[in-house]
Structure 1
Amino acid sequence: MSIKMKDIQFQTASYEQWKEEAIKALKGKPFESLFTKLAEDVTLSPLYTQETLVDKIGDELEKQIATIRSLKSSEGLQAAQQIYGDTSEQFFSNLEDSIERGNNCLTIDARTNFEWNDTNLEKLATYLVQNPFKFIIQNKNDSLLQVFNKIENKEKVQGFIISESPIELDGFENVRTVSANTVTYHYEGANAVQELAIALAIAAKEIKDGDFEQFSKNFFVNFAIDTQFFAEVAKLRAFKVLWKAFAAAYGVNNPVAIPVVAENSLRSYSKLDVYVNLLRAGNEAFSGLIGGADFFTVHPHDVLSKPTDKSIRIARNVLLVIKEESQVENVLDPAGGSYFLETLTAEFVEKAWALFLEIQENGGFDAYVESGKLQESLEKVYNDRLKAVQTRKQSLIGTNIYANPVDELPAETNAAFASIKRLAIPFEQLREKYSATQPKIAILTFGKLKDFKPRADFVSGFFATAGVSPEQSGEILTVDAAKEWLQNANYDYVIVAAKDEDTKELVPTLLSVKPENLILDAAGKYKDEESAWLENGLNGFIFAGQNIVKKLNEVLESVKGAQQ
């Protein structure tokens, strides 16, 4: 008797059954090891089910989904690529090219290498009448703002102006000039919850006359989207839920949608292995698309030094490929109904609203900033991020892991982004220091290849982050041979890489014969032997979970001291 596939039913497993099987698979590791704590003080579960979602949100789920879908400002994601150019001629040539190649919104940073004189302003004005724009200016005195004096058809002009304080424009009803620009705080270390709360607090600060409807027509938010894919999707979705709650506090139950302007974050960008930045940009742009951003800027992978025509075009095409070929835009709220993302969205809403209320109870945004509480909280999150990268709990591919030691730092620096507190900066500084000092480093590999290779590879990867490729001794099979190699070694610094039992036998002997100016370390952790070895002249240890930047700086200082 044949069985039809459509008649087959699979038994549904409960969370408890799954948990039981997971514990077996962990082979002694605690089940809690499967949980992940985010910077937002939210703990991710290894599995989300319909039951866990209902337990978390309950009857509010449908309201949350409906709110997110109703408060999308535009139908799709618009490319808002930045225009570059060293001269006005180059700038306008690039501007024209970007429009022809799919740019929807002209993003212009007023900090250009050329002057915004009358000729350039009049030329720019002709483009603004036909194309939406995003201006990034410093203050109301910025010369770029004079372009609006060159425009007569004010009603045709649509755009956004990002500034430290709101700009007043008479007659330009379709130009939004009041922004909650959270990008500044993002680069100070803010997590998703803090960015959301800050956005609401800035909005509360800027509603001066209580006319919520008029304010809504002039307001927008500007977010930076980082590499934490699902957290960033949840952040964008959470803003819409928070905006409805915020509007309700002003007596508005059906608020208009607020445009969400976004850009990919440079916090995780590195000057090392710059093409990895391209992958980060794609990841961030896709989360922006799924999360419901309206306008998105992708920074070129070499923007920290100097973008080229090629890198600018690649950046624009990253967004266009994701937007046009993924088919995501054909789906209304593609993240809607996901057990994981709906739960995460709700948790962000809950925590961000609580922080927003705390800010308001402390006198509002300005008072909260002046009290130092905001800066203190941002610094804590930033330092936690930095520590996670330096101990490899968080990966920066090509920088703190899988680093290419032959990568060279670019000589040029883009001044517009030089002040960003990027996570890769300490590693870039390490490269510069090691390049200047040129220490001679080697690994003493003891035993057979299969015995020392894991630790030797780890040590090589450790030093690759500083741009160093340590030489290796090859197989050394006896203690006497190791002693001879070390005594004849022409190195400043040597790391012993071997099995635990071999290392314990080898190190005390090597310490008794090593040259005075040679720095010796051991790969691994040896709690019982540590004190005695250090007393007898061992410099230290290299092991997983160690602060790479701190250790490598200490090594360099030790080498410099020995060389003097």
Structure 2
Amino acid sequence: MSIQMKNIQFPSASYDEWKEQAIKALKGKPFQSLFTETIEGVTLEPLYTQEMLMDKLGDNLEKQISTIRSLKDSAGFKISQQVYGETSSQFFTLLQESVERGNDCVTIHSRVPFKWDEENLTLLAKYLAENTFKLFIENEKDPILNVFNKINAPSVKGFIISHQGNMLSNFENVRSISINTIPYHHDGASVIEELAISLALAAKYAEQEGSYEKMISKSFVSFAIDTQFFLEIAKLRAFKVLWKAFSKAYKVDKPAAIPVMAETSLRSYTKADPYVNLLRAGNEAFAALIGGADYFTVHPHDCLTKPTEKSIRIARNVSLVLKEESFVENVLDASGGSYFIETLTADYAEKAWELFLEIEKAGGIDAYTQSGQLQARLDRLFESRLDAVQTRKDSLIGTNIYANPADEVPAETNPQFAQIKRLAIPFEKLRVNYKEFKPRIAILTYGKLKDFKPRADFVDGFFATVGIVPEKSGEITNIEAAKDWMEQANYDYVVIAAKDEDTKLLLPSILELQPKGILVDVAGKYKQEQEEWLEKGLNGFIYAGQNIVEKLTEVLESLKGVQQ
């Protein structure tokens, strides 16, 4: 039987044959609905084939793959866990624990609740001398830099992330030229901007150092990895393709690999439902592992408020589990040869190189920033991201969809991450406002359960995003009963959920009542009746594709106006 199975061959199908079957399955929907336009302006196709890939890259495919595989700085995926602590005693206890339990790169942000005094610096120097490290510093006068006055071993290895260039010339293996794209990522940048900016920053530092060789010996690049799994894999791979092209412009045909530091993006992290951040972190860490990052930091799921010893341990274990159980680390370029990812890698590299040349033509990254062009570009992208989340074109699980009404938004904020522009912030603010105001909200469910349930469930989910569970009238099957319910209703706001024909029959009678002190909305669009119903006193409509934040803000303001 097993021999027969080995000899079985399945007939191959052409793209056109697949397309024909796909069109049948769509049942009238256009085939183009299967194509997805990303924020980067790249169109994701529903199917990628070997022929499509070869048509795009041809002989360059082998060059792309070999470039990516040759520019991996380290053999593995190093865990770079950030150390937290409310006191110096707790900080160093957790630091020791992290080293003992698999932390490959001691990661420290200089902004801690305690002072970097002589005693703490002396203790820190011991760890930095014995372990690879990554330090986030505020500026060249940061007190934590005094630790290097206490380190006698010039062979120490580490990385310093700052806005300044090279600062530690006496330590050959400490890289302090940080090509850091993470602030741009959190400001709204897409993959294209992140990649182009990484090259523009490298060009700036090469000029400052006086040569490409001096720059590369002290440099490393940092990326934040977001939730778009395959796109983030392609981002890290595309960087290596671009790095070779960038090096070639400096007459370097065989560039040295540059260390790639990465971390979970906080742009999609949420405060109200922090455990979903664990899912995001696992997805992002796995993308970074497959994409070829050298060092990776998983931010604890509650890092926006106050990480605990448990959440820090869980964050570290995310990377440990991926390393030990996926075996991806044992494979060189695990996604290499994928028709989809290789195509996406090439698309990103092409578009990012064009933007890099545009930045250089404008005078470099500093001139491009000072002209306002960069910020305008980032602002447009961030607004586009916000709109996609607020209209549910993009899902932010636990926030704009599948939200748990019982979730609370912690008042506490971790100052280290307070300034990050997160997509969930508008929802979190609304949730706090609704909790303070405590409006009484209900759904008038008219007709049979099977008829009103889809819209009633939609309205339920709509208000779950701000922590409200509307009460429901239950089945009401005639207009008089509906009018009686409205007259006796002790609510501030009522949404009518029914199928179209029932709503058109019921609503005129409800509006004739002019329920005192009650705002009335309807679930659905009703374009033809819209103007007439609004004139007769309807407050508005709730429907799919609507901007949730704008609608819920309007409802809250209207309710406050009625109560005043």
What TM-score, normalized by structure 1, do the two folds share?
A: 0.99
User: Does the 8 Å CA contact 1:444/1:472 hold for their aligned counterparts?
Assistant: yes
State the SS of the aligned residue for 1:462: helix
- 1:533 is displaced (CA, Å) by 0.3
Report the AA paired with residue 136 of structure 2. I
State the SS of the aligned residue for 1:62: helix
State the SS of the aligned residue for 1:161: strand
Counterpart CA distance in 2 for 1:556 and 1:469 is: 15
Counterpart CA distance in 2 for 1:337 and 1:179 is: 31
Which residue matches 1:108? Answer: 108
Counterpart CA distance in 1 for 2:153 and 2:496 is: 74
Which residue matches 2:406? Answer: 406
State the SS of the aligned residue for 2:135: strand
Which residue matches 2:204? Answer: 205
Which residue matches 1:314? Answer: 314
1:390 aligns with 2:405: no
Counterpart CA distance in 1 for 2:322 and 2:511 is: 58
Which residue matches 1:151? Answer: 151
Counterpart CA distance in 2 for 1:234 and 1:410 is: 35
Which residue matches 2:343? Answer: 343
Counterpart CA distance in 1 for 2:374 and 2:3 is: 64
- 1:3 is displaced (CA, Å) by 9.8
State the SS of the aligned residue for 2:337: coil
- 1:6 is displaced (CA, Å) by 3.7
Report the AA paired with residue 498 of structure 1. A
Report the AA paired with residue 169 of structure 1. L
User: Does the 8 Å CA contact 2:359/2:368 hold for their aligned counterparts?
Assistant: yes
- 1:247 is displaced (CA, Å) by 0.3
Which residue matches 1:305? Answer: 305
Which residue matches 2:261? Answer: 261
Report the AA paired with residue 142 of structure 2. D
Counterpart CA distance in 1 for 2:6 and 2:277 is: 46
Report the AA paired with residue 169 of structure 2. D
User: Does the 8 Å CA contact 2:121/2:144 hold for their aligned counterparts?
Assistant: yes
For residues 183-211 of structure 1, the C-alpha deviation after alignment (integer angstroms, 9 at most, x for no partner) is 00001000111000000000000112542
Counterpart CA distance in 2 for 1:27 and 1:176 is: 57
State the SS of the aligned residue for 2:469: coil
Report which stretch shifted further, 501-510 or 406-415.
Answer: 406-415
User: Does the 8 Å CA contact 1:263/1:297 hold for their aligned counterparts?
Assistant: yes
User: Does the 8 Å CA contact 1:79/1:319 hold for their aligned counterparts?
Assistant: yes
Which residue matches 2:354? Answer: 354
For residues 452-498 of structure 1, the C-alpha deviation after alignment (integer angstroms, 9 at most, x for no partner) is 11110100000000110000000111000000100110111000000
Which residue matches 2:283? Answer: 283
Aligned-pair identity in percent equals: 66
- 1:11 is displaced (CA, Å) by 1.6
Which residue matches 2:167? Answer: 168
User: Does the 8 Å CA contact 1:271/1:428 hold for their aligned counterparts?
Assistant: yes
User: Does the 8 Å CA contact 2:446/2:475 hold for their aligned counterparts?
Assistant: yes
- 1:414 is displaced (CA, Å) by 0.4
Which residue matches 2:425? Answer: 425
Counterpart CA distance in 1 for 2:458 and 2:17 is: 38
Counterpart CA distance in 2 for 1:8 and 1:250 is: 53
1:4 aligns with 2:22: no
Counterpart CA distance in 2 for 1:517 and 1:481 is: 20
- 1:331 is displaced (CA, Å) by 0.7
Which residue matches 2:378? Answer: 378
Counterpart CA distance in 2 for 1:298 and 1:9 is: 44
What TM-score, normalized by structure 2, do the two folds share?
A: 0.99
- 1:168 is displaced (CA, Å) by 1.4
Counterpart CA distance in 1 for 2:168 and 2:271 is: 39
Report the AA paired with residue 112 of structure 1. V
For residues 222-267 of structure 1, the C-alpha deviation after alignment (integer angstroms, 9 at most, x for no partner) is 1000001111100000010100000000000000000000100000
For residues 337-394 of structure 1, the C-alpha deviation after alignment (integer angstroms, 9 at most, x for no partner) is 0000000000000000000000000001100000101001111110000000000111
- 1:11-410 matched pairs, under 5 angstroms: 11-155=11-155, 157-208=156-207, 209-410=209-410
User: Does the 8 Å CA contact 1:182/1:223 hold for their aligned counterparts?
Assistant: yes
Report which stretch shifted further, 242-251 or 212-221.
Answer: 212-221
State the SS of the aligned residue for 1:521: strand
Counterpart CA distance in 2 for 1:309 and 1:49 is: 47
Counterpart CA distance in 2 for 1:233 and 1:159 is: 25
State the SS of the aligned residue for 2:107: strand
User: Does the 8 Å CA contact 1:487/1:514 hold for their aligned counterparts?
Assistant: no
User: Does the 8 Å CA contact 2:206/2:214 hold for their aligned counterparts?
Assistant: no
User: Does the 8 Å CA contact 2:514/2:537 hold for their aligned counterparts?
Assistant: no
Report the AA paired with residue 347 of structure 1. D
- 1:117 is displaced (CA, Å) by 0.8
Which residue matches 1:549? Answer: 549
State the SS of the aligned residue for 2:159: strand
Report the AA paired with residue 388 of structure 1. A
Which residue matches 1:485? Answer: 485
User: Does the 8 Å CA contact 1:441/1:491 hold for their aligned counterparts?
Assistant: yes
- 1:9 is displaced (CA, Å) by 2.4
1:469 aligns with 2:469: yes
For residues 124-147 of structure 1, the C-alpha deviation after alignment (integer angstroms, 9 at most, x for no partner) is 111111100000001100000000
**TM-aligned CA distance change 1:149 to 1:3, over 3 Å:** closer
Counterpart CA distance in 2 for 1:415 and 1:37 is: 36
Unpaired segments of 5 or more residues in structure 1? none
Which residue matches 1:505? Answer: 505
User: Does the 8 Å CA contact 1:137/1:161 hold for their aligned counterparts?
Assistant: yes
Counterpart CA distance in 1 for 2:419 and 2:214 is: 35
Counterpart CA distance in 2 for 1:559 and 1:191 is: 38
Counterpart CA distance in 2 for 1:22 and 1:268 is: 33
User: Does the 8 Å CA contact 1:359/1:368 hold for their aligned counterparts?
Assistant: yes
Unpaired segments of 5 or more residues in structure 2? none
State the SS of the aligned residue for 1:412: coil
User: Does the 8 Å CA contact 1:271/1:304 hold for their aligned counterparts?
Assistant: yes
For residues 395-441 of structure 1, the C-alpha deviation after alignment (integer angstroms, 9 at most, x for no partner) is 11111101011111112110110110000000000101101111110
